[in-house]
Amino acid sequence: MKTVLITGCSSGYGLETARHFLARGWRVIATMRAPRPGILPAHEHLRVLPLDVTSGPSIAAALDAAGPLDALVNNAGIGLVGALEATPLSKARQVFETNTLGVIAMTQAVVPGFRARRSGVIVNVTSSVTLAPMPLTSVYTASKMAIEGFTGSLEHELRAFDVRVKLVEPGYGPTTRFAQNTDIRLEDVIPAPYAGFAQPILAAFAQPALVTTEADVAEAVWRAANDESGQLRFPAGADALALVANRG
């Protein structure tokens, strides 16, 4: 039986991905910063562990408790929407600490074991903001674009050791929260000069024409984790697939 560790399982894509792998016969290590009782049904092949991807000791403790892994899914992330000039650098650093450095730290921690066994897969979850420019998401986009480049380079680096590296690029869904896990208020990062510009964009966020579901992302992560064709990118959701098609 294979074992997967998934970060960011307290809600949304991570929670559904944990359910998806569990239903398909994998042993699942579902991690989150503050585990909540009952968030996932009790199961003999499920463990819920605390993990803060921005903390080295927390990463070490979680991986020690998890034991040998066959797959790592780097899903944990926080969002940020707003005009760049109104975005505090402290918030930008917070986004990069989780979305970028957290992914790098988790990956660095599992690579030695994967390399030694010459097996394993790392799936990094980014966003459809990497597929086309989107306004009011510059810092968030930068944090996710960094992981796109990181993943592409790492795939070449680890291929020689039979370790696979994949990208899942979810679109935007009703459950997406660009400000999730931060204490920033939208009104603080959309100053008055930007109000007219931002209003139709925020309205489009509220009522997207095409959406991505949690099940879309879970299925894309599943396909990526089990893919041996060499495919790197797995867009997830109708809107992400449309962006890929329009990009040519």
Distance of CA 116 to the CA centre of its chain: 26
Which whole-number Å values give the CA distances from 133 to 53, 68, 204, 237, 247, in the listed order?
Answer: 27, 39, 15, 17, 11
Looking at the predicted structure, is the pLDDT value of residue 228 above 60? yes
Q: What is the pLDDT of residue 205?
A: 77
pLDDT band at 184 (very low <50, low <70, confident <90, very high): low
Active site residue 172: no
* Candidates 13, 140, 172, 194; catalytic one: 140
What pLDDT does residue 179 have? 46
Helices (H), 138-229: 138-159, 186-189, 195-206, 214-226
Domain that holds residue 31: 3-247
Number of compact structural domains in the chain: 1
Q: What is the CATH number of the domain that holds 97?
A: 3.40.50.720
pLDDT of residue 248: 58
pLDDT digits (tens, 9 = 90+) for 106-131: 999 999 999 999 999 999 999 999 99
d(CA 187, CA 199): 12
Position 211 scores a pLDDT of 85
User: Around Cβ 87, how many Cβ atoms within 10 Å?
Assistant: 20
Using the predicted structure, report yes or no on whether residue 234 has a pLDDT greater than 80. Answer: yes
In this predicted structure, the answer to whether residue 28 has a pLDDT above a threshold of 80 is yes
**CB atoms near residue 12 (< 10 Å):** 19
